[in-house]
């Protein structure tokens, strides 16, 4: 039986997406961050004689790799700036500061960095600034904590290097935002918090989607009718995960599969456990393994995984149009 889901207020919650992005530096960025580790700033020399800081990997005129480096000063001039009144976590300073494009002495391009001043009245275009170096440096842009007003006492950087070159860098990526769920998402999430799987459809004869969409993709009508589904279904397609990766919580091999719940018209992705990965097959009947009630929240992670029921497999013709 379906029912209307338009009466309740949509759910909303703060969300945070974060991960560590690790990349190889290559010869150009590697040389730049290796120099930063040694309290030096270097740029790349272009075919027209310009010095690019930070160094570009390819010449903007010839498109050839830039391989010749030039030392520059760690002091320079503010070319333009903007005031950051409310810093986010992970930014260079925890108090209000200026973002500025700074042209270092000896460079022909600008670099973006923070300038530590007390207010927006204390910074201006043309101001002379110098790098404030971190006490512990590892070979990343944060080796310069920020810039501060004043002239540098350091000269132009030399190209001699100390220590092994930096070949890998890891950058933390983070995004904080407030997410407001659609009406369909809201009744779906409220159902999960009560141990129910609730799909949506736009009318009695239309397809049932779980999770629900805002509108039916085939007819454009709002998907406001709720349909409670059982926590049993079949595996349509699956993947055996054999490769380990950072943050992995389950030891490979294990199976990620698309589960088509009985009465639904679209499958969703979930884990399959309590059986050998080699025994998983298309059409296998599975059921949800729920976490303990006290661990439930507003999310599909309330279901820890799906497991085989032991029932006979579904015939291919009964689910082939869901692949």
The residue behind tokens 């290796």 is: 34
Calculate the CA dihedral of residues 71, 73, 78, 79 and round it to 10 degrees.
-30
HSE of 145, CA atoms in CB hemisphere, 13 A: 9
Burial (CB count <10 Å: 0-12, 13-18, 19+), residue 282: middle
Helix (H, G, I), strand (E, B) or coil at 190: helix
On whether the CB atoms of residues 234 and 260 are closer than 8 A, the answer is: yes
The percentage of residues in the chain with a pLDDT greater than 70, rounded to a whole number, is 98
Please give the sequence-ordered ranges of beta strands (E in DSSP) within 141-202, or none if there are none: 144-149, 168-180, 197-201
Write out 203-243 in H/E/C secondary structure.
Answer: CCCCCCECCCCCECCCCCCECCEEEEECCEEEEEEEEEECC
E strand or H helix that includes residue 79: strand 75-84
What are the pLDDT digits (tens) for 1-20?
445 544 578 899 999 888 88
240: its two tokens: 């055996």
What are the pLDDT digits (tens) for 119-138?
999 999 999 999 999 999 99
Q: Which residues of 198-229 are buried (b: 16+ CB within 10 A; e: fewer)?
A: bbbbbeeebbbbbbbbebbeeeeebbbbbbeb
What are the pLDDT digits (tens) for 133-186?
999 999 999 999 999 999 999 988 888 777 899 999 998 888 889 999 988 899
HSE of 257, CA atoms in CB hemisphere, 13 A: 29
Q: How confident is the model at residue 287 (pLDDT cuts 50, 70, 90)?
A: very high
Query: How far is the C-alpha of 167 from the C-alpha of 164, rounded, in Å?
Result: 9
What are the pLDDT digits (tens) for 56-90?
999 999 999 999 999 999 999 999 999 999 998 88
Query: How far is the C-alpha of 272 from the C-alpha of 278, rounded, in Å?
Result: 12
Query: How far is the C-alpha of 178 from the C-alpha of 91, rounded, in Å?
Result: 20
């Amino acid at each position: 039986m379906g029912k209307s889901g338009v009466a309740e207020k949509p759910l909303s919650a703060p969300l945070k997406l974060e991960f560590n992005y690790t990349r190889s530096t290559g010869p150009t960025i590697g040389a730049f961050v290796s120099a930063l580790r040694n309290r030096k700033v270097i740029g790349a020399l272009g075919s027209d004689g310009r010095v690019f800081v930070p160094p570009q990997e390819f010449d903007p005129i010839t498109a050839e790799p830039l391989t010749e480096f030039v030392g520059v000063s760690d002091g320079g001039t503010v070319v333009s700036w903007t005031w950051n009144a409310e810093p986010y976590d992970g930014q260079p300073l925890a108090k209000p500061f200026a973002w500025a494009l700074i042209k270092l002495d000896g460079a022909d391009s600008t670099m973006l960095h923070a300038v530590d001043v007390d207010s927006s009245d204390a910074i201006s275009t043309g101001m002379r600034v110098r790098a404030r170096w971190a006490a512990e440096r590892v070979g990343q842009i944060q080796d310069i904590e920020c810039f501060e007003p004043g002239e540098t006492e350091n000269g132009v950087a030399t190209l001699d290097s100390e220590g092994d070159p930096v070949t890998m860098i890891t950058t933390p990526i983070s995004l904080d935002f407030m997410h407001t769920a659609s009406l369909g998402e809201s009744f779906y999430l409220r159902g999960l918090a009560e141990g129910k799987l609730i799909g949506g459809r736009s009318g009695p004869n239309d397809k049932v989607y779980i999770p629900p969409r805002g509108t039916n993709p085939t007819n454009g009508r709002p998907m406001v009718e709720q349909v409670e589904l059982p926590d049993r279904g079949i595996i349509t397609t699956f993947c055996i995960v054999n490769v380990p990766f950072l943050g992995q919580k389950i030891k490979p091999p294990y199976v990620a599969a698309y589960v088509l719940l009985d009465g639904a018209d679209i499958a969703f992705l979930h884990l399959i456990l309590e059986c050998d990965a080699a025994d998983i097959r298309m059409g296998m009947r599975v059921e949800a393994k729920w976490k303990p009630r006290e661990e439930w929240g507003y999310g599909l992670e309330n279901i820890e995984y799906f497991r085989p029921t032991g029932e006979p497999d579904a015939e291919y013709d009964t689910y082939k149009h869901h692949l």
